[in-house]
Amino acid sequence: MKQSFYKLTHSNLAFLLKERNLNASGANLLFNWHYKKKNTSACITDLSKDTIGYLSENFDFELPKIDQAHESSDKTVKFLFELKDGNKVETVLIPFNNRYSICLSSQVGCAMKCSFCFTGTQGYKRNLSTDEIVGQYLEVYRWLEKNRPNDGKILNIVFMGQGEPLHNFDNVKDACDIFISQAGSSVATQKITVSTSGYLPGLKRWIDEMPQVNLALSLHSPFTEKRDELIPINKNYPLSDILDYIDQIPLRKKQFIIYEYLLIEGFNDSIDDAHETAKLLVGKEAHINLIPFNPFPGSKYKRPSSKRVLAFQKIFDSYKIPALIRSTKGDDVLAACGQLKT
Ligand code: SAH
Ligand code: SF4
């Protein structure tokens, strides 16, 4: 059976070619063709006949299809992708400083069952394969070139769509590897962010295995009881263990960890909640993103007033922790991402 070409990292591809005594520089040509130039057709330029034969016999070049694209007035676009097995996932394109951020899904559904998350209420179906992750990026890139040719391109890639990326570690890692490959799309590591609810088994592989991309932790509460309610896996992987581990991650200059804090009215939006959160993070290379809760049908929480959100934000000033409110859809990755429903 043929496997997807878009599953292969550059080094895997070079290895496979070498193993068959084919010129390993074909990996550069192929990455340039498919990821830099973003061609959909098979690459024939400059490849040897044997390499072309090997590729066509063993690999397919199919990608998930865009089923629907919903464009909102602020230029945000939500894409519904149809996968080969009929499952669907969402990808969001968000305008950002004249360019775009893309919010990728990593799983169909999610096993973490967070009480405030629509994806979590759907349960876990399966991991996305590397090609299904990379495919979201390539297809949206092409959509942008076709539909908004005069606009800027995709600058940032964030794993904040459906699914827990560290629960699908291998495929997310390979997708990041493909994105940053110099011969291909060569996205800078600083432009990629992986967001986790605190899935410790995945996080423990971060330092040794993940390329140096940014990490975002969904914190949501410094208090055990509240965090347990919001993110049930907190009972298995307590926040203190997660923070200890994150502290060991070597950071580049000017790099910081992003802490996401979902604000729910009357639950975790008090001044006391803010102080305790700030105390937990003070002295760390930390930025906070405050995300007012996005309600969905059947959800039991409420979004706080903007006055309350501003008061919460203000507390972080005195601790000198940068805190950004992510609320308006247009310039916001998180708010648009957190609401994904299929
Ligand atoms: N599974 C990962 C990444 C996907 S969720 C994680 O949990 O971090 C991306 C972000 O959207 C997370 O910070 C998550 O807490 C937030 N989110 C989920 N549901 C939301 C909602 N209804 N309103 C606002 N943010 C939400
Ligand atoms: Fe999964 Fe993230 Fe939703 Fe939690 S918030 S259920 S980890 S997608």
89-105 tens-digit pLDDT: 999 999 888 899 999 99
- Rg of the chain on CA atoms, in Å: 21
Protein residue whose Cα sits closest to atom 18 of ligand 1: 338
pLDDT at 342 over 50: no
Name the band, by pLDDT with cuts 50, 70 and 90, for residue 307: very high
Q: How much is the pLDDT for 334?
A: 47
pLDDT at position 297 is: 83
In this model, does residue 339 exceed pLDDT 80? Answer: no
Tell me if residue 229 is catalytic.
no
Instruction: Share the mean pLDDT of the chain.
Output: 93
Give CA angle at 291 (172, 162), nearest 5°: 30
11 Ramachandran zone, left/alpha/beta (phi>0; psi -120 to 50): alpha
pLDDT value, residue 338: 56
In the reported structure, the alpha carbon of residue 111 is separated from the centroid of ligand 2 by a whole-number distance in angstroms of 8
Ligand 2, residues 112, 230, 333, 334: which to mutate, most atoms within 8 A of Cβ?
Answer: 112
Residues in the chain: 342
Write the secondary structure of 66-107 as one string of H (helix), E (strand) and C (coil): EEEEEECCCCCEEEEEECCCCCEEEEEEEEECCEEEEECCCE
Residue range 275-288: mean pLDDT, rounded: 97
Buried b (16+ CB within 10 A) or exposed e, 135-163: bbbbbbbebbeeebeeeeebebbbbbbbb
Cα 114 to ligand 2 centre (Å) = 6
Percent of the chain at pLDDT > 90 equals 85
Which residues sit with their C-beta closer than 6 Å to ligand 1? Answer: 116-117, 160, 164, 195-197, 218, 260, 262, 291, 293-294, 334, 337-339
Q: Give the pLDDT of residue 154.
A: 95
Ligand 1 mutation target, pool 89, 160, 261, most atoms within 8 A of CB: 160
CB atoms within 10 A of CB 72: 11
| pLDDT reading at 329 higher than 80 | no
191 vs 334, which has greater pLDDT? 191
Exposed/middle/buried for 20, CB within 10 Å: 0-12, 13-18, 19+?
Answer: exposed
Q: What integer pLDDT is reported at residue 335 of this predicted model?
A: 46
- The answer to whether residue 82 is catalytic is no
Specify the CATH superfamily of domain 65-333.
Answer: Aldolase class I (3.20.20.70)
Find tokens 């969001």 and name the residue: 92
pLDDT score, position 333: 47
Q: What is the pLDDT of residues 16-75, one digit of tens each?
A: 999 999 999 999 999 999 999 999 888 778 899 999 999 999 999 999 999 999 988 888
> Cα separation of 9 and 65, whole Å?
22
Name the architecture of domain 3-60. Answer: Orthogonal Bundle (1.10)
* pLDDT tens digits, one per residue of 173-223: 999 999 999 999 999 999 999 999 999 999 999 999 999 999 999 999 999
User: If you take atom 6 of ligand 2, which residue's CA is the nearest one?
Assistant: 120
- Tell me which of 90, 139, 164, 260 is the catalytic residue: 90
Nearest to 120 by CA among 130, 129, 108, 128: 108
Residue 329 per-residue DSSP state: S
Instruction: Fill in the DSSP letter of residue 36.
Output: I
Neighbours of 58 (CB within 10 A): 13
Question: In the chain, what are the domain boundaries?
Answer: 3-60, 65-333
Q: What is the DSSP track for 283-327?
A: TSSEEEEEEE----TT----PPPHHHHHHHHHHHHHTT--EEE--
Q: What is the mean pLDDT of residues 286-305?
A: 92
Q: Phi-psi category of 256—alpha, beta or left, where left has phi over 0 and alpha has psi -120 to 50?
A: beta
- Using CB distances shorter than 6 Å, the residues near ligand 2 are 110, 112-114, 117, 119-120, 163-164, 197
